[in-house]
Amino acid sequence: MAKDPLITNSDGAEWRDSRGHVVLANSAGFFGEQHYTSYSISLALVAEKNNVKQTDYWFSSSRYFDRLDPIEKIADVAAQRTLRKIGSIKPKTQKVPVVFDPIAGRDFLSILAQTVIGDAIYSKNSFLIDKLNEKVAVDQMTIIDDGLLKYGLGSRLFDDEGLPSRKNVVIDKGVLKTYLCDCYSARKLGHPTTGSASRGVSSNPSSDTSNFYMQNGTIPPEEIIASVKNGLYLTSVDWVGINYVTGDYSRGATGIWIEDGKLTYPVQEFTVASNILEMMHNISMIGNDLEFRTSKAAPTFKIDEMMISGS
């Protein structure tokens, strides 16, 4: 709260830590066990000006305590993200380039993750049905699911059916290479298993991701922003408007408007819309700022055109 007098309150600070020990045995003769630890810290803040309140947050999470960001950094970033929303306006309706920051990019990856799992494919709930070995994105885009990623929050020695964890390249330079399958979905699809089974204590296994991410690019985020004459820097999205069958994408959005390559003023109370396949074919720049704060992650990236629906 000492960062700025406009920060009037905290919307909550949270600490979590856990330790787990999983033992798995099955009738195929498998027996295995593995240990987990997990730590996270987060802070949400409230800023107010002219009786208008804004909130935002920041966080850090890791399998290891000594890899968490310092508390001071959490406070700094939470304050910056909250203060930059002061004075937000609604943008005009138009088609413009959209730069996804890593938080908005992670949300995009979370949506894509639901369309590449075997359960979604055999239940006909994905726009990627029958697209194996087809071009579904630009050459620069590679999507990986890696259950063996060092320090990964989704890393594990074996999946929840006892199959070894592995690295699966899901989209390789724009080409869809595999679906992520547990044994059941693999049989239904006639597809190899990928060590992608997940389950709760009392649930049946189903297909899921482990550490699912967009491969890092080579361009600094500042250069991506500088490439936009008139467009949106997207910092967060809310409410789900996704059709997984068609790929139609519509989200409530918050961000900062870009003019002549510079971040200028905050915007909110509008939607961004497109189609996910079109979005993946229209990614023109991928940043070099990939960080794993959850088990899904993306660097900054730019989509050349999306519909902004505002005033």
Burial 187-219 (b: 16+ CB within 10 A, else e): eebebebbbbbbeeeeeebbbbbbbbbbbebeb
Confidence at 241, pLDDT banded by 50, 70, 90: confident
The string of DSSP codes covering 163-188 is PBP-EEEEEETTEE---B--HHHHHH
pLDDT tens for each residue of 289-304: 999 999 999 999 999 9
Task: Please report the pLDDT score of residue 222 as a whole number.
Answer: 98
Shared domain check, 225 and 303: yes
Tell me which of 83, 115, 140 is where a domain ends.
Answer: 83
Q: Which two tokens stand for residue 217?
A: 């690019």
CA distances from 239 to 8, 81, 83 (A): 27, 20, 23
Residue 49, domain extent: 7-83
pLDDT at 239 over 90: no
pLDDT digits (tens, 9 = 90+) for 27-45: 989 999 999 999 999 999 9
Find the CATH number of the domain harbouring 27: 3.30.2290.10
* Total domain count, the chain: 2
Asked if residue 88 belongs to a domain, the reply is no
pLDDT digits (tens, 9 = 90+) for 93-118: 999 999 999 999 999 999 999 999 99
